[in-house]
Amino acid sequence: MTSPGVFQHADSSSLRSCNGAQDARQNIVASLIILHLSGATKKGTEKQATSETQRSVQCGTWTKHADGGIFTSPNYPSKYPPDRECIYIIEAAPRQCIELYFDEKYSIEPSWECKFDHIEVRDGPFGFSPIIGRFCGQQNPPVIKSSGRFLWIKFFADGELESMGFSARYNFTPDPDFKDLGVLKPLPVCEFETGGPEGIVESVQITKEGKASASEAVDCKWYIRAPPRSKIYLRFLDYEMQNSNECKRNFVAVYDGSSAVEDLKAKFCSTVANDVMLRTGLGVIRMWADEGSRNSRFQMLFTSFQEPPCEGNTFFCHSNMCINNTLVCNGLQNCVYPWDENHCKGSRRSLGLPY
């Protein structure tokens, strides 16, 4: 058990940090992203979160600094206001890690295990990433080092007993996992736009359309836009990562609604990639592969669909999907289950060929 004001720390063996790394001053954008902000208050004598419908109050800014930056609690060094929950994400450039420092002028309402006002830091971009620690009290936290490109930071203040708050400084250091590969060269611009009832996005487009050479590291994005009132179903036709299970080196990620980290739907870097159903009409496919992972590949079929009841020019997939009639018996499975390809007679076109 920990005493009031003492942080809770994750098992150090579960996190690999960038210890001993030198400062990196590369002209690659790294960003501190304010993801979302929501309120909190208390009822009676108990402190608890309000409903999700309470109006959020912004505390912070969006800033980008390749050499690091500073962020603070609201009103710092004066007392922070009550009823705040601010979530920040620090994102480093590829092959960099993050170091986070809290100023000694620091004060957050102390409580047993920091259950009330607190700062929570996690090793990754999400609220479910491995926890590094939860902090409160009068003693500023120790230096925090990430194991990869992201830190997730939450500042929470309930409805009473405000204090000075905090000021935090972050900078970037080389990731020791890539010490033998040297500095990453500037990445080529690599974006694609597509849409319609169906289509194919695939990694061979990168070299075929001249976005990058076969030896360059790439961070490519495919933007898929469905017709109005439609959503998107994604099915992998081919997938293989050259450096399997090494997400720092290669991955395919799917975003739902935008390419922002909070809209990340799925990320694949192992031996298997699953189908993905999006809730919006904008899907973003992202492929990251460093110089030693350019044999990584994928091919994905996207299908636009509407939810029932189905209109006259659509086909009911029996899986809460209505797809365009032109996709029935086209030689490709556009439904989650192959209802659209069952009972098809005669020759069917193969991928890219007419009937």
CB 305 within 8 A of CB 328: no
- Region for 326 from its dihedrals, namely left if φ exceeds 0, alpha if ψ lies in -120 to 50, beta otherwise: alpha
Q: Beta strands 218-225 and 191-195: pairing type?
A: parallel
- Cis amide bond preceding 197, omega within 30: no
CB 135 within 8 A of CB 119: yes
Domains of the chain, start order: 8-177 (2.60.120.290), 191-305 (2.60.120.290)
Burial-class residue 280 by CB neighbours within 10 Å (0-12, 13-18, 19+): middle
* pLDDT at position 7: 52
Tokens of 112: 């047993």
pLDDT tens over the chain, length 355 residues: 444 454 554 444 345 456 543 333 333 334 444 443 333 333 333 444 333 333 334 455 444 567 888 999 998 999 999 998 988 889 888 889 999 999 999 999 999 999 999 999 999 988 889 999 999 999 999 999 999 989 999 999 988 888 999 999 999 999 998 887 777 888 999 999 999 999 999 999 999 999 999 999 999 999 999 999 999 999 999 999 999 999 999 999 999 999 988 899 999 999 999 999 999 999 999 999 999 999 999 999 999 999 999 988 999 998 889 999 999 999 999 999 999 999 897 544 443 334 3
Compute the CA torsion angle 108, 31, 150, 192 (nearest 10 deg).
150
Cα-based distances in Å from 243 to 199, 246, 288: 27, 6, 12
What predicted TM-score, i.e. pTM, was given to this entire model?
Answer: 0.76
